[in-house]
Chain A
Amino acid sequence: MTDRDLLQAGFRYAFSLANRHHDAEDLVQEAWLRISALHGSVPNKSLLFTVIRNIFIDQYRRKNLVIIESLEGVAEPAQLDAGQEFNIDSKVLDKALNNLRPEEREAIFLNIIEGYTAKEIAKLTDKSRNTILSLLHRGKQKLVQQLGQESNDGQYLA
């Protein structure tokens, strides 16, 4: 993987956390510089993701923007119907993703884009595997709900 590929991967991961282009760019840049200063180069994607994540958590802790939401307190969303037919417009998906919690987006990104298993994500994010499975399940259900809602409005029906 070239440095450019690493940067792009890091940017996407940062985007999954921040969900804004500018913030994601800042995150990946800061992480890249920190690692470069420490190691002279960025050795692997895993380290880059970890540093991005740490910076994100630090920044959002400072800004009090991370909403600590207990999984126990969240109402169980409707069952995901994988076969449900609806068009997924990028803007609608963007809106739906923006309504997810950062950790839900992160789990979904790492699972779908990076192909990590729940166990690997758990290790990377220092969470239990069950928590990751819950984040994945609930995150996707929220997306389906929101996308379905938009579809039911008739605007995005196939």
Chain B
Amino acid sequence: MDKLDKSIKNYYLDRRLSADALDRMLDKGHQVAREKATEKVGIGKLFDFQKSKRFIASQWRTSAVAAVMLVVIVVAQSYYFQRGVSELVLAEIAMNHNKHLDVEFPYNNYEALRVAMNRLDFTLEPPVALLQNFILIGGRYCSIQGKLAAQLKVKNRNTDGISTLYVTALTDKLKKTVSKRVVYDNVTIELWQNQGHFYGLATDA
């Protein structure tokens, strides 16, 4: 290296930043780096938050739609099922009533009928209101929706009209029936439930 190069080298090597300037630049550099990092994290968090907000909103929307659909399906199914069961029971009762079959057990008191109809898996106990308004003529076995039932012939104390009373134990399926009074196939039918029993009273319309 010639003298000129050495002189140039020495000249530039003598050019130095002061310690204060160095510290100031390093501090500022670290500060800028930290701010940038915080900003990135902030943006990242904001992005994640927005993303998660969007995700949660989307999930809520999906869940809400699913829930509404589920409720509609359940209500509709329940409605149609109830209606379906009730319709089936009404049809069955109306058909049995219209057959006008004779009683198998011609007993006019319930105690005797209970003894005679010993295949029943429930206690044959008509409601008090029925006892007050109807006189027992007799009974026979039948089935409602596949369940063994008692078909009782009764006479209205006031009108002398003959009705058939259907009594059976309340099953899950029969629980779906709706208490109501309708005319079905020229038969006035009243359905109700009481103390674990299902009742259907059919009268010629």
| In the complex, A130 has a CB within 8 A of chain B | no
| In the complex, A63 has a CB within 8 A of chain B | no
| In the complex, A3 has a CB within 8 A of chain B | yes
Shortest Cβ distance from B39 into A: residue: A37
Shortest Cβ distance from B37 into A: residue: A40
Complex CA–CA separation, A140 to B8 (angstroms): 10
Instruction: Tell whether, in the assembled complex, residue B11 and residue A97 are in contact, meaning their CB atoms are under 8 Å apart.
Output: yes
Q: A28-B17, A28-B25, A113-B12 are in contact. Are A36 and B30 (CB under 8 A)?
A: yes
A73-88 vs B, CB cutoff 8 Å, 1 = contact: the mask equals: 0000000001100001
Complex CA–CA separation, A88 to B3 (angstroms): 9
| In the complex, B28 has a CB within 8 A of chain A | yes
B contact residues around A15 at 8 Å (CB): 12, 15
Complex CA–CA separation, A120 to B26 (angstroms): 28
Instruction: Tell whether, in the assembled complex, residue A7 and residue B11 are in contact, meaning their CB atoms are under 8 Å apart.
Output: no
- Name the interface residues of A3-26: CB closer than 8 Å to any CB of B: 3-4, 7-8, 11-12, 15-16, 21, 24-25
Instruction: Tell whether, in the assembled complex, residue A33 and residue B32 are in contact, meaning their CB atoms are under 8 Å apart.
Output: yes
Instruction: Tell whether, in the assembled complex, residue A16 and residue B12 are in contact, meaning their CB atoms are under 8 Å apart.
Output: yes
Instruction: Tell whether, in the assembled complex, residue B22 and residue A82 are in contact, meaning their CB atoms are under 8 Å apart.
Output: no
| Contacting residue for A36 out of B1, B15, B33, CB 8 A | B33
Indicate the size class of the contact surface on chain B: 20 to 34
- Name the interface residues of B22-53: CB closer than 8 Å to any CB of A: 22, 25-26, 28-30, 32-33, 35-37
Q: A12-B12, A93-B7, A94-B11 are in contact. Are A7 and B28 (CB under 8 A)?
A: no
B contact residues around A112 at 8 Å (CB): 1, 5, 8-9, 12
Tally A-B pairs: CB < 8 A: 87
| In the complex, A49 has a CB within 8 A of chain B | no
| In the complex, A42 has a CB within 8 A of chain B | yes
Instruction: Tell whether, in the assembled complex, residue B33 and residue A37 are in contact, meaning their CB atoms are under 8 Å apart.
Output: yes
Shortest Cβ distance from A35 into B: residue: B29
Q: A11-B17, A40-B36, A41-B33 are in contact. Are A140 and B28 (CB under 8 A)?
A: no
Complex CA–CA separation, A24 to B3 (angstroms): 26
Main secondary structure of the interface of A (DSSP, over half): helix
Instruction: Tell whether, in the assembled complex, residue B22 and residue A4 are in contact, meaning their CB atoms are under 8 Å apart.
Output: yes
| In the complex, A29 has a CB within 8 A of chain B | yes
Instruction: Tell whether, in the assembled complex, residue B17 and residue A25 are in contact, meaning their CB atoms are under 8 Å apart.
Output: yes
| In the complex, A143 has a CB within 8 A of chain B | yes
Nearest chain B CB to A127 CB, angstrom units? 20
B contact residues around A132 at 8 Å (CB): none
| In the complex, B4 has a CB within 8 A of chain A | yes
Complex CA–CA separation, A11 to B5 (angstroms): 19
Complex CA–CA separation, A25 to B4 (angstroms): 26
Instruction: Tell whether, in the assembled complex, residue A33 and residue B29 are in contact, meaning their CB atoms are under 8 Å apart.
Output: yes
A contact residues around B32 at 8 Å (CB): 33, 36-37
Known: A36-B28, A37-B35, A108-B8. 18 other contacts (CB 8 A): A7-B17, A7-B25, A12-B12, A24-B15, A25-B21, A28-B25, A29-B28, A32-B25, A40-B33, A42-B29, A82-B3, A90-B11, A94-B11, A97-B8, A97-B11, A112-B5, A112-B12, A143-B4
